[in-house]
Structure 1
């Protein structure tokens, strides 16, 4: 220690203390007060306890020099004591805290030497090494500090190296340069998981090649996990950005060089969804290197190999920007030369060439986009058609496109109408006048295993239409004949996907329809009939086929043959299709005025098994036939059968029709049994209307009693509260034709019917709910909870009304609820009748009042 740092008393003995050995203590530093501690040391020299007591005493009463003197003696006496050495070293370090290591270099060297003495025997103590290395980090001794770190790592077990590496990394950051790189390289052997920090250091120090290699190392390590949470793709992106941005500083030569081209190309395989960015990055790398031709080659390769429009757009936009920048630079140079009056033919030629190349690039864009889409799906028929359209009048390229499309597309996987590609290919030659080549194309097309039979049928039809356009009618017929060739008895299922379209096409209705229309236009009737017959044999006829065939025969006066066609069609189809065929067949048969017996037979066949919903029309036709050409009573029997055979929706109308016909043919009296059966057969709502008509008829005939009886029968269907119109008609009838007794009887029946409906619990509840819903609709109530509460209340009210009716006499209607006589309460209505009075008796006085 320098003398200036010691107290005045110690300064005189400083030089002497440096020369004093441990065996000869400096007597001047031992006072009388220290005698007791010295005696303790003499009694137990190998114990640490008296030394610690002596040091503690000096800390309180001694000078710094005296404290150092005692600690020095203690460490020499007990050189293996970790506690004494740690105390002594901390004391010496604290003494130098805040001192400049350059100015007080000698004092720092003394402490370093003291650490070296301590580490001779305490080199396995990590805390001593940490103190020493931390002390060295404050001194400008790079080599000595680095070697001390090396000694510490060699001396300590590997489990304690993390404590040293923490300081060693701090030392590397402070010295930087190659030393820092070497230190981190050693650190990576122990902790490879910190590779990202190492890469950051390499980039900061300008070791870009080493950083790229480290990136490659961790990317090739499938077990590497980023401590910063970066994905595999993020690390790859960082590496590519470093390659591109620092292209001029990366070593690509020799065996240790980096093959940038191979690295980025491997990325296009590893990350197919990022191919656009990687191709642009590779091109930018060559641009940064100044190799523009290589960059252009990369751009071209990129736009002709990517699989998505997004990647293509990214590469193409970068390509265009690159060409624009180069062209702009050359134009600026040309303008500068022009101002100076200089002429450079080579430079001008290069500029023209680049302008032409740029224009060609822009013209190629639609084709390049089409290429991308076709690479995505070579079976996309629509895109192949677009490519044909792009070539327009370039016949050679159009043919090449069609040829390439046919070779590339798998018919079973075609997206779009593959047959249209073949047809358009043939039409291309047809427009050019080369019919022979078009026929060859069609001949190949019909052998293609299309996805569906419909496509093959369309191809055959298009071939025949081409021949028709060129007025080759016989050839067109022969083509369709070839298309429809089939075994005499074909058992092929049209919908059997296991068979090829060529095996099933002979059952295509579209094909046969075209064929028969063609032969009908250019052939004879016999040829057309053979085709129609063949259609029926194959059982592929449609209802329209039946109608067309029958009309054809009818136009040629083959009426009986046309009827046979209808019958063949009826064998093929069931209802509802059969109804339309019967309708046409019977209409034409009736119009032809064939014999009545045969027509009756046909109608009976039609009605046999006819569903009720279709029976009405047929029965009306049958009845009309009997009225016109047969007997009226036969017609009535048919109408009577119709009332039983038709559906419930048509029965009321059928009864009305039957009644009308019977009245017109046999008089009104003949309708009575019909009315009676109608009333028995119809539901209550329709029976009521039928009763009203029946009663009106009897009234017109003067049969008042019969009419009154009908009204009485109908009353059981009519609740006075919901069918007020019926009761009004009956009341008007009694007013006109009845007397006091009949009117009272009507009122009694009315009360009886109302009482009957009042005892029906379900009816009462439904009526109450219906009234409440109607009222709510008028008031605009929408609250669901309130509605439920009101419905519950209404049901309770309905049940209470039912109980009141049960307690009331039979046939009695309360004045507050009855539709009649409710305006004037009477004593009879408010008091109970005597026990000996018939409860069903009518109060004549009340009835007289009502009548008045």
Structure 2
């Protein structure tokens, strides 16, 4: 390489101006660039251009622009030339780059061009060292540009070089660790890849540049350690997978299968079977159980198939032994037992999910079938496990089923013992305890132990001792819905329990004992209207009529309106059916009590019964007086009907004329819409009696309520009346009234 920068002896005439200017300004970059541009645009030899660059760089050795253009020109001359056949020219180009970097070692573009040029040459060591020099020479902020090319070179330079380069790169960009792991896997460095992946998944602050979640990284780790288990030596695979089982609770089944597969590939088949057993007995979801169980069953099937093939081969070779048959029978029996256990295992999974699930405990009992010891053990375990305050289902039915089991097997003493324990359980609701007591008594009745059944119900409904013995504690003050009290202290106020007790007494007890139970219910103020009616009916059936009527009265006092209306509706007809008119004064007192403070909504039926009583057994005028009171006592919607009924009864008893007073009272009392109906009927009555003037007067009064446009029928009726009975003056008066009324109503 020539380094002389002196002016040649012979100068082209076209170059003379540039040479003269260079002589005056030898350090002017612009002058050199113009001269170089002149040479390049002309027909000069490329060597002359290079010589001119050499002269310029001798004067301006630190010019980045000159060096960049010079190096680019030199590289272009090497295009299409193979680096092996012309290695000396490539070495010469490398020397030019080295000269440039002596003063321009902080220029990343020069380094990048040089490094890119080196990667095209078969000089891996020199290239790698040049990359290292570039990283040392440039500031850290420029390293990213170098590393992109360095990583690309390292991939082609060989696996060992790639690994070492990536390790250094991770110190600058640790988030690219996934590329490092992929490379380790690619070159079969599985152990180191697993170690690195473990550190990644344990770093909760790590953010994958590929958008992978922590669980997906765990999946990659599991796949790596299972697929290449023979090459993993530096980490404890089982402990890692178990930590994943604890961390990712929604993927327990899959991780158990991976752990078992690891031991299968390691040849530890019994260890794998233990893992499968652990999985199906500890998971808490059916999905996880199904995944593990299916993998377990497939594993056993493959083992059986393998043993059968081996046995067939040995049989052909004549080396088969009894041990082979016994081992095969053992595996078949083990597989059959696994299939038989599936229902129990699924049940266990559901019970682990919710140990308070009553239905699943009942299913477990049914699975044992006729194995009485297991059934008793399951019932006992269930009743000890379930929280009485948080059952999912009816806990009382489980106690009853347990007792029924002993009952069906003829052990009544054990069944009674179960019920005695059950009634001491602090159930979630009073109704649950009441169900247990009722089941207890029903069991006694099924075996005709009626006295025992009555004793059970008497015990169940007894007031707790601490309440009955405490004079300051009134049983009536015990709140049935007070959750702070145990159910045993509130069950005596359960109407369900008392109703069953009443039914039992009515069936097998005496009249007096039944009355005592009914009276106790009434005293505790827990009776509903149906209990009152049932008590009264029971007394009537046994000819205790007066006591039955007292029961009705107690019920009426107890409930008040509106329930009292239903009781009066039953009480009054039964009283009248019993005594008829023999106790008229007493009946009148009852009716007066009934209508006293009676809401208008319910008054109509009672007044009609009262009036009927007077019509049948009393005086007609008394009945009319009652109907008259009813017209002002009933609800507004029933008032018109009551007036019409009153008119009908008065007409039937005292003649048509007696209806006039009622009609006039109705007109004063009823609303406008009902007055229209009454007026028409009143006018029809007077017309029938021949009282034409009175009829015309009623029409004149009623006209104010009838809009001629909306209610033309009234006016047509009046028109026909005047045509038949009136004269010109009365007809004109009707028309005048019509016009006046029409003006009052809006359009």
TM over 0.5: yes
Equivalence for 1:642? 630
The answer as to 2:451 corresponding to 1:474 is yes
Equivalence for 1:449? 426
Question: What do residues 14-59 of structure 1 show as CA deviations (whole Å, max 9, x unaligned)?
Answer: xxx6xxxx6xx59997535599988988888877777767766765
Change (3 A) 1:695 1:35: closer
Q: Distance in 1 between matches of 2:732 and 2:6?
A: 151
Q: How does 1:359-438 map to 2 (within 5 A)?
A: 359-438=336-415
Which of 498, 506, 512 is matched with 2:484 structurally?
498
Equivalence for 1:5? none
Equivalence for 2:743? 759
Which of 143, 165, 168 is matched with 2:150 structurally?
168
Tell me the SS of whatever aligns to 2:424.
Answer: coil
Q: Distance in 2 between matches of 1:123 and 1:722?
A: 109
The answer as to 2:557 corresponding to 1:571 is yes
The answer as to 2:528 corresponding to 1:551 is no
CA-CA distance at 1:181 after TM superposition: 1.0
The answer as to 2:675 corresponding to 1:687 is yes
| 8 A Cα contact 2:438 2:497, kept in partner | yes
Equivalence for 1:109? 91
Equivalence for 1:788? none
Single out whichever of 693-702 and 562-571 deviates more from structure 2.
Answer: 693-702
Structure 2: tracts of 5 or more residues without a match: 469-473
| 8 A Cα contact 1:662 1:670, kept in partner | yes
Question: What do residues 796-839 of structure 1 show as CA deviations (whole Å, max 9, x unaligned)?
Answer: xxxxxxxxxxxxxxxxxxxxxxxxxxxxxxxxxxxxxxxxxxxx
| 8 A Cα contact 2:5 2:56, kept in partner | no
Change (3 A) 1:69 1:427: same
Q: How does 1:293-308 map to 2 (within 5 A)?
A: 293-308=270-285
Q: Distance in 2 between matches of 1:560 and 1:705?
A: 58
The answer as to 2:129 corresponding to 1:147 is yes
Question: What do residues 494-542 of structure 1 show as CA deviations (whole Å, max 9, x unaligned)?
Answer: 1222222122111111111112222333333332222222212211111
Q: How does 1:807-818 map to 2 (within 5 A)?
A: none
The answer as to 2:199 corresponding to 1:217 is yes
Which of 286, 289, 297 is matched with 2:263 structurally?
286
Tell me the SS of whatever aligns to 2:77.
Answer: helix
Which of 92, 96, 102 is matched with 2:78 structurally?
96
| 8 A Cα contact 1:199 1:214, kept in partner | yes
Change (3 A) 1:297 1:556: same
Change (3 A) 1:666 1:92: closer
Which of 578, 584, 587 is matched with 2:570 structurally?
584
Change (3 A) 1:37 1:475: same
Q: Distance in 2 between matches of 1:410 and 1:260?
A: 40
CA-CA distance at 1:446 after TM superposition: 1.4
Change (3 A) 1:579 1:129: same
| 8 A Cα contact 2:36 2:53, kept in partner | yes
CA-CA distance at 1:189 after TM superposition: 0.9
CA-CA distance at 1:646 after TM superposition: 1.2
Equivalence for 1:31? 10
Larger Rg: 1
CA-CA distance at 1:62 after TM superposition: 5.7
Question: What do residues 178-232 of structure 1 show as CA deviations (whole Å, max 9, x unaligned)?
Answer: 1111111111111112222222222222222333333222222233222223333
Structure 1: tracts of 5 or more residues without a match: 2-16, 765-852
Question: What do residues 681-718 of structure 1 show as CA deviations (whole Å, max 9, x unaligned)?
Answer: 23344333333433444444444444444444444444
CA-CA distance at 1:82 after TM superposition: 4.7
Q: Distance in 2 between matches of 1:333 and 1:439?
A: 60
Question: What do residues 561-599 of structure 1 show as CA deviations (whole Å, max 9, x unaligned)?
Answer: 222222211111111210111122222222332522222
Tell me the SS of whatever aligns to 2:490.
Answer: helix
CA-CA distance at 1:400 after TM superposition: 2.1
Q: Distance in 2 between matches of 1:400 and 1:444?
A: 16
CA-CA distance at 1:615 after TM superposition: 1.1
Tell me the SS of whatever aligns to 1:213.
Answer: helix
Tell me the SS of whatever aligns to 2:282.
Answer: coil
Q: Distance in 2 between matches of 1:626 and 1:289?
A: 105
Structure having greater relative contact order (Cα 8 Å, sep ≥ 6): 2
| 8 A Cα contact 1:715 1:750, kept in partner | no
The answer as to 2:518 corresponding to 1:532 is yes
Q: How does 1:830-845 map to 2 (within 5 A)?
A: none
| 8 A Cα contact 2:151 2:166, kept in partner | yes
Q: Distance in 2 between matches of 1:49 and 1:755?
A: 117
Equivalence for 1:247? 229
| 8 A Cα contact 1:640 1:658, kept in partner | yes
| 8 A Cα contact 2:442 2:453, kept in partner | yes
The answer as to 2:180 corresponding to 1:203 is no
Equivalence for 1:797? none
Which of 226, 238, 247 is matched with 1:261 structurally?
238
Q: Distance in 1 between matches of 2:235 and 2:655?
A: 116
Question: What do residues 764-814 of structure 1 show as CA deviations (whole Å, max 9, x unaligned)?
Answer: 2xxxxxxxxxxxxxxxxxxxxxxxxxxxxxxxxxxxxxxxxxxxxxxxxxx
**TM-score calculated relative to the size of structure 1:** 0.79
Tell me the SS of whatever aligns to 1:592.
Answer: helix
CA-CA distance at 1:269 after TM superposition: 2.5
**TM-score calculated relative to the size of structure 2:** 0.89
Counting matched residue pairs gives 733
Q: Distance in 2 between matches of 1:219 and 1:420?
A: 50
| 8 A Cα contact 1:464 1:477, kept in partner | yes
Q: Distance in 2 between matches of 1:539 and 1:349?
A: 76
Q: How does 1:671-820 map to 2 (within 5 A)?
A: 671-727=659-715, 729-730=717-718, 738=725, 742-744=726-728, 747-762=731-746, 764=747
Change (3 A) 1:743 1:31: same
Tell me the SS of whatever aligns to 2:188.
Answer: coil
CA-CA distance at 1:83 after TM superposition: 5.0
Equivalence for 1:130? 112
Q: Distance in 2 between matches of 1:719 and 1:651?
A: 23
| 8 A Cα contact 1:582 1:606, kept in partner | yes
| 8 A Cα contact 2:707 2:742, kept in partner | no
The answer as to 2:209 corresponding to 1:227 is yes
Tell me the SS of whatever aligns to 1:578.
Answer: helix
Equivalence for 1:612? 600
Q: Distance in 1 between matches of 2:688 and 2:118?
A: 137
Q: Distance in 1 between matches of 2:436 and 2:6?
A: 126
Q: Distance in 2 between matches of 1:612 and 1:430?
A: 58
Change (3 A) 1:289 1:743: farther
CA-CA distance at 1:725 after TM superposition: 4.5
Single out whichever of 723-732 and 650-659 deviates more from structure 2.
Answer: 723-732
Single out whichever of 34-43 and 462-471 deviates more from structure 2.
Answer: 34-43
| 8 A Cα contact 1:655 1:678, kept in partner | yes
Which of 647, 669, 680 is matched with 2:657 structurally?
669
Single out whichever of 447-456 and 696-705 deviates more from structure 2.
Answer: 696-705
Change (3 A) 1:120 1:591: same
CA-CA distance at 1:611 after TM superposition: 1.0
Change (3 A) 1:748 1:273: farther
Tell me the SS of whatever aligns to 1:218.
Answer: helix
Equivalence for 1:459? 436
